[in-house]
Amino acid sequence: MKRTIGIVLIYSAAVLIMLSILIMVGVINVRFKYTTAAFG
């Protein structure tokens, strides 16, 4: 039982990290597009 809980925790942590990285990349891409549009 404890092992399954640990696996679930690791999976949820990995999913959270992936989501945060994707959100950061998306925000950076949007900002880059806006800055290039503003300057270009």
Per-residue confidence (pLDDT) for residue 38, from 0 to 100? 81
pLDDT in tens, the chain (40 residues): 789 999 999 999 999 999 999 999 999 999 988 888 887 6
Using CA atoms, how far apart are residues 19 and 3, in angstroms rounded to an integer? Answer: 24
Using CA atoms, how far apart are residues 19 and 10, in angstroms rounded to an integer? Answer: 14
The residues spanned by each domain of the chain are: 1-40
